[in-house]
Amino acid sequence: MLARATTFAIDGVDPRRVWVEVDIRSGLPAFTIVGLGDAAVRESRDRIRAAILNSGFKFPDRRITANLAPAFLRKVGPGFDAAIALAVLAASRQLPAQALSAYAVFGELSLSGELRDSPGALAVAEGASRAGVRRLIVPRERAREAALVDGLTVAGVTGLGEAVDVVKGRQAPELPQAAPPPARRALEPDLAEVRGHAAPLLALEIAAAGGHNLLLEGPPGTGKTMLARRLPSILPAMTRAEAIEVTRIHSVAGLHADGLIAGRPFRAPHHTISPAGLVGGGAPPRPGEATLAHHGVLFLDELSEFQRSSLDALRQPLEDGSVTIVRGQRALVFPTRFMLVAASNPCPCGFAGVEDRCLCGESDLRRHRRKLSGPLLDRMDLLVSVERPREDDLRAPPRTTSVRARERVAAARELQQARLRGTGARCNGEMDGRAVRRHVVVEEAAGRALSRAYTVGALSARGRHRVLRVARTIADLEQHARVTERDLLLALSLRQRGATASALAA
């Protein structure tokens, strides 16, 4: 007898529908699984047999063939176990095949028949919804996550026997309620803890308001990492669509298992990370840190210590908002729409420009500069020097708090969303050249200042567009309808490597 069940494969971070077809015929007892499965799929035969027997069902002593279609799609991981087991029960008439066809099934089986936690339930739920399947069986640990998809009835079960009862209608599907998004953590790092640092604080606010990339450069111990780790506290809240996308990515990566991720991601990989770990890759291809930082912040501390190949691999993801990984004649696209924040010392010893403290020779400085490629630095919108705070600054009250800065950032983002509606961009940092020409209107004096900077060679063509986007963000923070000369000069000063508080005041 032939029976069919529906499940889903995770292809990169996207779901792909898989039909599980099980045929049972007379012949010597055998259990074969075909359909381009990996080692985990091939090994599932023994898991499924033990799970069926230990759940109180009969395993057919006949010739069993299970096909995972489509055959060209590689099936990776143990998440197909439950669907194959239920299809075997349906083909052996221990379960109504017609009732099973109304469900999608996803989950790994233990030898005892328990349905184990399986990453990627949210992606599977989205795939089921798009495929028109309105009922989904997943492990109980993943039920709340899968229930984030509207219009889908989710049954969170603990084992194979419970899944059979749900399909037969003996047990009503458990309908988990998604947990409300948590409030911002009380112990989240706050800008109120920062003393001094006028230019870096301004740069943080501009970066958050427009989604711009930021480089903080300065001697060790001046507060570069401290400042970067406070950036998430002033970022605007994610929309529900963004939160679901972030949750799906982290679920596929096995980093999240319950409810909706409310806070924007903040990823800070170690400088020994490989290019594949940073932008994605491997066999099978997995999302890298750039994808895990989607809709959030990717922080690269000690930028000059990263491998040159890893930093160069970031160029295309920064520009396009996605990265294409090609492995074995397969092309997978991972989203990479993130803010890049980097911190670096000005020289190997960290004290360049400080009298009697810098021990680096000219060759050391040249080698240090070569580590940071020009094309990568050209993709940074804001380049700010973090100086050692004065004694008076350490005793003074804070210049701002995260609450005040977040209010200004949220107001600026609202202006941008209204202006950019229908363009595909959500903030100024995502505008392409056409959107810049259409939506960035500058005053005459500001236009002359930009022309002078470009004429003398201070900007590349890409840098010119980035200065205009930053100037538009500054104007949004100041509630200016047009970009003024002051807005543009401030954007230009923040574009020059080593921008300081004194330069900004001038």
- Per cent of the chain over pLDDT 90 is 68
Q: Which residue has the tokens 């500001």?
A: 446
Q: Assess whether 264 and 367 both reside in one domain.
A: yes
pLDDT at 494: 92
Check whether residue 120 and residue 235 sit in a common domain. Answer: no
On whether residue 476 sits in a domain, the answer given is no
Instruction: Provide the pLDDT for residue 322.
Output: 93
CATH of the domain at 23: 3.30.230.10
- Average pLDDT on 338-361 reads 82
pLDDT of residue 497: 65
**Does residue 414 form part of some domain?**
no
Domain annotation covers residue 430: no
The answer to whether position 307 is within a domain reads yes
Report if residue 353 sits inside a domain.
Answer: yes
pLDDT recorded at residue 174: 64
Residue 477 lies inside a defined structural domain of this protein: no
Which of 131, 98, 111, 115 shows the shortest CA–CA distance to 9?
Answer: 131
Q: In this predicted structure, what is the pLDDT of residue 501?
A: 40
> For 67-110, how does the pLDDT look when each residue is reduced to its tens digit (9 = 90+)?
999 999 999 999 999 999 999 999 999 999 999 999 999 999 99
CATH number at residue 293: 3.40.50.300
Residue 324 has pLDDT above 80, yes or no: yes
pLDDT digits (tens, 9 = 90+) for 169-215: 887 776 655 555 555 555 678 999 999 888 999 999 999 999 999 99
pLDDT digits (tens, 9 = 90+) for 436-466: 999 999 999 999 999 999 998 888 888 899 9
Q: Which of 210, 214, 241 is nearest to 439 (CA)?
A: 210
Residue 197 lies in a domain: no
Q: How many domains does the chain have?
A: 2
Which of 66-76 are b and which e, b meaning 16 or more Cβ less than 10 Å from the residue's Cβ?
A: bbbbeeebbbb
Asked if 262 and 350 sit in the same domain, the reply is yes
Judge if 137 and 261 occupy the same domain. no
Q: Is residue 363 part of a domain?
A: yes
Q: Buried b / exposed e across 243-253, counting CB within 10 Å, b at 16+?
A: bbbbbbbbbbb
Examine the domain organization and report whether 237 and 163 are in the same domain: no
Task: Count Cβ atoms below 10 Å from residue 501 Cβ, excluding itself.
Answer: 17
Q: Are residues 141 and 245 in the same domain?
A: no
Same domain for 134 and 224, yes or no, is no
Ranges 47-51, 240-244, 305-309, 433-437, most confident: 47-51
Tens digits of residue pLDDT in 213-267: 999 998 888 899 999 999 999 999 999 999 999 999 999 998 876 778 888 999 9
Domain boundary among 134, 168, 202: 168
**Which residue is associated with the tokens 């001094």?**
196
In a 13 Å sphere around the CA of 226, the CA atoms on its Cβ side amount to: 16
What span, in angstroms and rounded, lies between the C-alpha atoms of 6 and 16?
A: 11
The pLDDT assigned to 503 comes to 42
- 239 lies in the same domain as 134: no
Question: 225 and 159, same structural domain?
Answer: no
| pLDDT on residue 506 | 42
pLDDT band at 359 (very low <50, low <70, confident <90, very high): confident
Q: How far apart are CA 264 and CA 285, in angstroms?
A: 24
Last residue of a domain, one of 103, 136, 168: 168
Count of Cβ atoms closer than 10 Å to residue 26 Cβ: 6
- Whole-angstrom distance, CA of residue 304 vs CA of residue 320: 24
Upstream peptide bond of 284 is cis (omega within 30 degrees of 0): yes
Mean pLDDT, rounded, for 275-289 = 89
How far apart CA 477 and CA 490 sit, in angstroms, is 13
Whether residue 102 is found in the same domain as residue 238: no
Domain identity same for 369 and 254 = yes
Same domain, 116 and 235: no
Domain that holds residue 104: 2-168
Mean pLDDT of the chain, nearest integer: 90
